[in-house]
Structure 1
């Protein structure tokens, strides 16, 4: 019958560990002689130097082949999305609801619009975008002729939104039953919404339900047009002062003062029937004024 292995004391174990750390008989440190430690250290230094060099080379090649001004792949962005302000987005829909008798309620809506329009201030636009653009034509730029190796951008002034600019009426109509909403089309680099001979894109709003509760719809600028001079967009690095063209829509609510509205950007190159993307080319929202 095999004998049981002798149980070692704590002192013996510490002695064995100390011998493993430094063995004076064999002249080894942690099982290796100093000469072998030098060899293995040199091996790993060389290994990690080569690995670091290969990684740096791969990153350099990647960055060298990338265009900093234009994404390599935009195949999923054939048609832009559309958004509405005040941006009171819920989980499934956009509901712009306010109480004309509650100052905090309608002031909340107007505050959102004032903050959104802050970059469009006329003075700021005059300073940031002094270039005199030719309206009615695409602003094609093949060179970086603006300061700091950038491209020019056309100014869009807050005052161009007329009665919905918040200048004459700081409440944007939310203290009564004539609220304004602002429609913005998202940016796509190098996107031209129409052929050169076609009419410019424009915003058209239709009442999906509650038609009897909307007496009138007004657009600012006139006819809800987005001037071609704001296209194409060349990217944030190329056009750091670019601002999206906007269209403001004012509704005159009557009756129950509520409606379901669809606003879409009408253009031959902008689709709006994609059931998988409810914001492609259009935006649907609920508008409701209560007392």
Structure 2
């Protein structure tokens, strides 16, 4: 019998079709294997990955908790020169062109086209909504400030869009539907935590500042009312200077000192300056550059530091 066993030959397993092989791979009743593994094998590998990912999640959560302990909800860890945004604020303008053309800086409308005018007015309504008491959930932190006097601790100064803004208020449609006059464009400084402007006076005004602004600063210093981040707007080219007409700055020439520094206090309102174009030439494109002036604001036209560019065209 032993000889017979030794003479037994290996028998080739039956040839299975692809579908039969797949069914056996899914469940092999002879070996009790599912997808090529027994139940105990699947249990061991699942237990390994459960422990592995639990440890990984625990480690990551612990590191994240330690990281958040180094952060402050209100004050950034890296400020001014140490931060990515630096200490040189830029200027922004409103209203902005449609979202369909996000790279455009052109304000183009037809004063006699009510629908076209309403688009720009709605943009300004939405932008200025937070300056209204009923739309500011932290308005209890807002107080009326005397010019150049800091607010109380934990409070911020109000920006009141009242009669001093003249044509640049909602009731007057920001002058976009005027048959002759031009529109109001609102300027604001980008917020930089802890940034304090260094103010110009009569002895520090730079040579490249517009002469009319130099004169305004000298007069303001005589009234002890010179602590502003001053604003100037001009046509970029000789043709633009000719076509832009008279510009008025409302309610003042710049951003007053009581709004600085920005410290992320609830209810803070960025100061605004409205640029009112009294009678720009119609039917032509006007390139406009506005600059913010303080001793620690550097102007760079390429990077648009300390300035903003936009175009105006009224049909």
Q: Which band: TM-score by shorter chain?
A: 0.7 to 0.9
Distance 1:66 1:219 in 2: 40
Q: How far, CA to CA, are the matches of 2:133 and 2:161 in structure 1?
A: 6
Q: Which residue of 2 aligns with 1:109?
A: 120
**Unmatched 5+ stretches in structure 1:** 24-28, 142-150
| 1:185-225 Cα shifts (integer Å, max 9, x gaps) | 11111111226997320211112232222331111112x22
From the superposition, tell whether residues 243 and 161 of structure 1 become closer, same or farther in structure 2 (CA, over 3 Å): farther
Question: What is the distance in 2 between the residues matched to 1:215 and 1:138?
Answer: 36
Following TM superposition, by how much is the alpha carbon of 1:136 offset from its aligned partner in structure 2, in angstroms?
Answer: 0.6
1:157 aligns with 2:182: no
272 and 128 in structure 1: CA distance in 2 versus 1, 3 angstrom threshold: farther
1:216 alignment partner in structure 2: 246
Q: Mapping of 1:261-280 within 5 angstroms?
A: 261-273=288-300, 275=302, 277-278=303-304, 280=305
Q: CA offset at residue 5 of structure 1?
A: 6.1
- 1:133 counterpart = 2:145: yes
Given the alignment of the two structures, is residue 240 of structure 1 paired with residue 237 of structure 2, yes or no?
Answer: no
* Distance in 1 (alpha carbons) for counterparts of 2:139 and 2:91: 28
Bigger proportion of residues as helix? 2
* Structure 1 residue 250 corresponds to structure 2 residue 276: yes
Match of 1:83 in 2: 92
TM-score, normalised via structure 1 length = 0.76
Separation of aligned partners in 1, 2:175 and 2:121: 6
CA distance in 2, matches of 1:171, 1:15: 78
Conserved 8 A contact 2:114-2:177? no
Q: Please give the secondary structure, in 1, of the residue aligned with 2:263.
A: coil
1:64 alignment partner in structure 2: 69
- The alignment partner of 2:245 has SS state of strand
Unmatched segments (≥5 aa) in structure 2: 1-9, 202-225
User: Cα 1:68–1:121, aligned 2, differ >3 Å: closer, same or farther?
Assistant: closer
Q: 1:37 to 1:130 in 2, by over 3 A?
A: closer
Count of residues in Structure 1 that have an aligned counterpart in Structure 2: 266
Matched, 1:225 2:290: no
In 2, Cα distance between the equivalents of 1:42 and 1:178?
73
TM-score in terms of structure 2 length: 0.71
**For 1:226, what is the secondary structure of its paired residue?**
strand
1:167 Cα offset (Å): 4.5
CA–CA distance in structure 1, aligned partners of residues 104 and 49 of structure 2:
58
Cα distance in 2 for partners of 1:12, 1:109 equals: 70
Q: Which residue of 2 aligns with 1:172?
A: 175
For 1:15 and 1:286, locate their aligned partners in 2 and report how far apart those are by CA, in whole Å: 73
Q: 1:213 to 1:281 in 2, by over 3 A?
A: same
| Matched position secondary structure for 2:173 | coil
Residue 110 of structure 1 contacts residue 172 of structure 1 at CA under 8 Å; is this kept in 2?
no
What SS is found at the alignment partner of 1:9? coil
Distance 1:97 1:20, change over 3 A: same
- The equivalences for 1:28-67 within 5 A come to 30-31=37-38, 34=40, 43-67=48-72
Q: Once superposed, what is the RMSD of the aligned Cα atoms?
A: 3.5
Give the structure 2 partner of residue 120 of structure 1.
Answer: 131
